[in-house]
C-alpha cells in the first residue's frame, strides 16, 4: 500500500495570547493579542489608546536635528484610527477629523513635537457605541513632515481602561526604523469579543490617507 502523504508543516505559532490584569500592565510583544476583558471576565466598555514617542536627542553644541542649517525642524507625528467594515474603510479619525461619524471614537488633538512625558496623542474608544458593521480599528502613527522613525525613539502605544484610568497593556518599539509611518496596533472583533493586537510594522506614509492602502494585510 502507498505510504500516507506527509502532512504539510504546521504554520508557526504566534506569540501566546495574554490576559489583562489590573495588578500590573501587560507588556505586549509584536503580534501578541489580548482580549479586552478585565479581571473576572467583564468586558471593557470605554478604552483609551495613548500613543507616545520621544525625539532622538541631537549631539551637544548642535541644534535639534541640525536645526535651520539642514531644515530639519521638529518632527510632527500624527496618530490616526482607521475604522474598517470588512476590507472597506468606513471612517478615519485623525487631526483633521477628531470624532468618528458615529461618535464612538474621539481624538484628543494634535501634538506637534512629541516632547514631554506621557502620551503624546490620545484616542478614546467607546466600544459599546462602535457600530456592529465595524470589524476592526487600526491605529497608525505617521510623520507629517516626512522625517523617518530613525529620528524617533521609545515609540509606544498603551491601553487604558478609561472608566478608572488604569493602564492595562503597553507595547513599546525599541530603536528607529527607516519609515515615515508605523502601524502600531489594531482593535478588532473575534468570537464575540473585542481584542487588541500589537503590530509595530513600518510603512511609508506621511498621513492616514497614504497609510490606508497598505493596511489590508492586517485585516
pLDDT tens per residue across span 72-107:
457 788 999 999 999 999 999 999 999 999 999 999
All residue ranges of the chain with pLDDT < 70 are 1-13, 58-73, 110-117, 175
Please list the helix, strand and coil fractions of the chain in percent, rounded to the nearest 5, in that order.
Answer: 10, 40, 50
**Residue 56: what pLDDT?**
79
Query: What span, in angstroms and rounded, lies between the C-alpha atoms of 93 and 99?
Result: 6
Check residue 72 and give its pLDDT. 41
Question: Can you give the pLDDT at residue 19?
Answer: 86
The reported pLDDT for the residue numbered 21 is 79
pTM of this structure: 0.84
Q: Which three cell numbers stand for residue 29?
A: 510583544
In this prediction, residue 113 carries a pLDDT of 46
Where exactly are the structural domains of the chain? 26-58+74-218
CA 64 to chain centre: 27
pLDDT of residue 69: 30
CB of 154 closer than 8 Å to CB of 11: no
- Convert 90-124 into a string of H (helix), E (strand) and C (coil): EEEEECCECECCCCCEEECCCCCCCCCCCCCEEEE
**Whole-number Å distance between alpha carbons of 43 and 36:** 6
The burial class, CB within 10 Å (0-12 / 13-18 / 19+), for 25 is middle
What class does CATH assign to 26-58+74-218?
A: mainly beta
Instruction: Report pLDDT for 10.
Output: 57
Please report the pLDDT score of residue 176 as a whole number: 76
Amino acid at each position: 500500500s502507498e505510504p500516507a502523504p506527509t502532512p504539510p508543516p504546521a504554520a508557526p505559532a504566534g506569540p501566546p495570547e495574554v490576559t489583562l490584569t489590573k495588578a500590573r500592565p501587560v507588556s505586549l510583544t509584536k503580534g501578541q493579542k489580548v482580549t479586552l476583558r478585565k479581571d473576572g471576565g467583564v468586558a471593557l466598555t470605554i478604552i483609551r489608546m495613548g500613543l507616545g514617542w520621544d525625539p532622538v536627542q541631537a549631539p551637544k553644541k548642535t541644534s535639534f536635528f541640525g536645526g535651520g542649517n539642514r531644515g530639519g525642524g521638529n518632527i510632527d507625528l500624527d496618530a490616526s484610527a482607521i475604522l474598517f467594515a470588512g476590507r472597506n474603510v468606513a471612517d478615519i479619525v485623525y487631526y483633521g477629523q477628531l470624532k468618528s461619524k458615529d461618535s464612538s471614537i474621539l481624538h484628543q488633538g494634535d501634538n506637534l513635537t512629541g516632547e514631554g512625558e506621557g502620551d503624546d496623542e490620545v484616542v478614546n474608544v467607546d466600544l459599546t457605541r462602535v457600530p456592529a458593521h465595524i470589524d476592526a480599528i487600526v491605529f497608525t502613527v505617521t510623520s507629517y513632515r516626512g522625517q523617518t522613525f530613525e529620528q524617533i525613539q521609545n515609540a509606544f502605544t498603551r491601553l487604558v481602561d478609561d472608566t478608572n484610568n488604569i493602564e492595562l497593556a503597553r507595547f513599546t518599539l525599541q530603536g528607529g526604523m527607516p519609515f515615515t509611518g508605523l502601524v502600531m496596533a489594531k482593535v478588532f472583533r473575534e468570537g464575540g469579543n473585542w481584542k487588541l493586537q500589537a503590530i509595530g510594522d513600518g510603512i511609508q506614509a506621511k498621513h492616514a490617507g497614504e497609510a490606508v492602502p497598505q493596511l489590508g494585510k492586517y485585516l
